[in-house]
A and B are shown apart, each in its own frame.
Chain A
Amino acid sequence: DIQMTQSPSSLSASVGDRVTITCRASQSISSYLNWYQQKPGKAPKLLIYAASSLQSGVPSRFSGSGSGTDFTLTISSLQPEDFATYYCQQSYSTLPITFGQGTRLEIK
């Protein structure tokens, strides 16, 4: 199985801050990396697919980069609605599809 490791596990930041979350795969996954945002009691929402493509309707302050084993999700200027948990997910291997453990973004 391809293991996905996110860092940090939790992060405190303020409105307006620039935030970066990292996801590392246990083997190369090319660009088969997606990012999701999840708010309490809600289903995950796709933000970024194929490592760097912004899903339709997602604000441009979200961006993704990376390939191979190392990936980042960046929020350029945090907004109040961005405080949530973020997950990376690899789809290079679909047996199994694996997610990172999540990064909880909290208000400082």
Chain B
Amino acid sequence: QVQLVQSGAEVKKPGASVKVSCKVSGYTLTELSMHWVRQAPGKGLEWMGGFDPEDGETIYAQKFQGRVTMTEDTSTDTAYMELSSLRSEDTAVYYCAPFDSSGYYFDYWGQGTLVTVSS
């Protein structure tokens, strides 16, 4: 059973950066392909990117290219998502979710981290 615990809510000013963490337990991070999905208030789910085990690289949605960086610290089994040049439209709940590479689905999710961008 995978457990994912994310960092707490953040309030940032436009132009700043935010780094959200996702601590894994029950598995090691190297056994998972961690992805990130966000959800703006009252809106749907939006995939941001994640680790592709087929080529060993992190892939990002084109919308976030150049602004997002997803990293992992395997010594602490913690994944990170950093989003820069924040704007009000980035106000959302950010979820980490391992992508099951055999079934091609997200069967575990973090509890979500609310990032509010406001001046």
Chain A: residues with CB nearer than 8 A to chain B? 32, 34, 36, 38, 43-46, 49-50, 55, 87, 89, 91, 94-102
Interface residues of B in 92-113 (CB under 8 A from A): 95, 97, 99, 103-107, 109-112
With beta carbons under 8 angstroms apart, the residue of A43, A97, A98 that contacts B111 is: A43
Whole-angstrom CA separation of A106 from B102 in the bound complex: 34
Whole-angstrom CA separation of A97 from B106 in the bound complex: 11
Minimum distance in angstroms from A38 CB to a CB of chain B: 8
Whole-angstrom CA separation of A100 from B106 in the bound complex: 15
Whole-angstrom CA separation of A91 from B59 in the bound complex: 14
Q: Is the CB of B103 within 8 A of A50?
A: yes
Chain B contact patch, size range: 20 to 34
Chain B: residues with CB nearer than 8 A to chain A? 35, 44-47, 52, 59, 61-62, 95, 97, 99, 103-107, 109-112
Question: Given the known A-B contacts A50-B103, A94-B59, A97-B35, are A44 and B109 also in contact in the complex, defined by CB atoms under 8 Å?
Answer: yes
With beta carbons under 8 angstroms apart, the residue of B35, B99, B110 that contacts A43 is: B110
A-chain residues with CB within 8 Å of residue B59 when the two chains form the complex = 94-95
With beta carbons under 8 angstroms apart, the residue of A43, A89, A97, A102 that contacts B109 is: A43
Q: Is the CB of A96 within 8 A of B47?
A: yes
Whole-angstrom CA separation of A28 from B88 in the bound complex: 35
Question: Given the known A-B contacts A49-B105, A96-B62, A97-B35, are A43 and B45 also in contact in the complex, defined by CB atoms under 8 Å?
Answer: no
Instruction: Given contact pairs A32-B104, A34-B104, A49-B103, enumerate 8 new A-B contacts (beta carbons under 8 Å).
Output: A46-B107, A50-B103, A94-B52, A94-B59, A96-B47, A96-B62, A99-B47, A102-B44
